[in-house]
Amino acid sequence: MMNEIETLDDFYSIKFSDRPVARQQSIGDFNVFALEDLIHDGGRVAVKYTRRDFYKICLSTGAHLFHYADKTVRVDGTSLLFFNPQTPYKWEQLSDDNVGYFCIFKEAFFTEKLRSNLGALPVFAANGKPFYNLTHEQGEYVAGLFKKMTAELNGDFKYKQDLLLSYVTELVYYALKLEPSEQLYQAPDARSRITNLFTDLLERQFPVTSMQDRLLLRSPKDYAQHLYLHVNYLNDAVKTTTGKTTSKLIAERIITEAKIMLKHSDWNVAEVGYALGFEDAAHFNNFFKKNANISPARFRSQEAALVG
C-alpha cells in the first residue's frame, strides 16, 4: 500500500514531540523553522517518502539526495526547494554541515489573501522545477527572508500574518525570476482559463492511495463533462495553449503516477493498473510500454536494482 499522507498534526508529533511549543508559535497553519531544529538529537535528517497535506519551502546548505516523484537528484551547496501536497518526496542528508530554514503552510494561507492558484505556479506544479541551486549571494538573500519570517512570527505586530505572506510570496517569485521568462504562465484569454481548469481538475485526481479511490477520469470526454464543456472545445483550448493534446497530457500524468506507485508502493503491477483505472493488466502494460518505452515490471526491477 502507498504511504499515508502526512498531516500537519503528524509533522509536529514526529518532528517536535518533545517540544509542543513549536506548534504554539504558528500563525494559523504557517510556521518557520531552522533546519537545525530537526537535528536536535545530533543525528542526520531522514525524511520519510510520502505526500503531505501542506506546502513546504526549504533553504538548505550542504549535500543531500532529493527524491521527488519518480526522480532522484543529488544537490550540493545552497539550494532552494519547493514541495507541494500532490507529489510525494523525501530527502536524505549526506553531510553533517546541513543548515538552513524551512517554512510550512496550507493553501488557505495564500488563497485567503491572494487570487493566485498555487498549483499553477511552476515551482509547485507536479511537472515543474521544484529546486534551484543558489549562489552565495542568492543564498544570503533568501536566508534573510527566512530570518525576517522568524522575527515576525515571534513578534507581536498586529499585521504580521500579512507580512509573513509577503515574505513567502517574495520567495516564490524570487525563484521564478531564476527561470527563463518564457516558462512563466499567464492566462489572458478564454483558452488559457479553460486549460487552467483542466489542469487543476487533472491534478486533483491524484494521489491514488487506495483501490476504493481509483482513478475514474481518464479520457478528454470525462474531463469535458466535469467542466461542462464540449470535448472539441476543451481539446482545442488545451492544444492551442500547451501545444499538446488533452489525451497526451492525461497520459503523461498517469504515467508519472504509475512510476511513483511502481517505485514506492508494494502493490503488484495489476493492482497499480487497476488503481489507475485500467480494468485488466494487459491494457495497463500496453499503455505503460507505449508511453514509457518500457514495461511496468521491467521499470520496477530497474528501479529496485538502482536502490539496491
**Shared-domain flag, residues 43 and 158:** yes
Q: Which of 146, 164, 183 is the last residue of a domain?
A: 183
Residue 31 CB contacts under 8 Å (≥ 6 apart), including other chains: 22, 23, 25, 103, 104, 105, 153
**Shared-domain flag, residues 44 and 117:** yes
Q: Cα 169 from chain centroid?
A: 17
pLDDT given for residue 114 in this prediction: 60
DSSP secondary structure letter of residue 127: T
pLDDT given for residue 59 in this prediction: 94
Which helix (H) or strand (E) segment holds residue 110: the answer is helix 108-111
Judged against a pLDDT cut of 90, whether residue 268 lies above it is answered with yes
**Shared-domain flag, residues 158 and 21:** yes
Does residue 3 lie in a domain region?
Answer: no
Q: Which of 221, 249, 233 is nearest to 194 (CA)?
A: 233
Rounded to an integer, what distance in angstroms lies between the CA atom of residue 190 and that of residue 76? 42
pLDDT given for residue 3 in this prediction: 45
116 or 234: whose pLDDT is higher? 234
Q: Which of 153, 183, 213 is the last residue of a domain?
A: 183
**Shared-domain flag, residues 171 and 202:** no
**Shared-domain flag, residues 161 and 299:** no
Residue with cell 505526500: 51
pLDDT given for residue 18 in this prediction: 64
Q: Terminus-to-terminus CA distance in the chain, angstroms?
A: 20
Q: Which of 119, 151, 183 is the last residue of a domain?
A: 183
Range of the domain at 298: 190-307
Judged against a pLDDT cut of 60, whether residue 72 lies above it is answered with yes
Judged against a pLDDT cut of 50, whether residue 187 lies above it is answered with no
**Shared-domain flag, residues 119 and 83:** yes
Q: What is the mean pLDDT of the chain?
A: 83
* Mean pLDDT of all residues in 46-72: 79
Per-residue confidence at 209, pLDDT binned at 50, 70, 90? Answer: confident
Does residue 222 lie in a domain region?
Answer: yes
- How many folded domains does the chain comprise? 2
**Shared-domain flag, residues 64 and 36:** yes
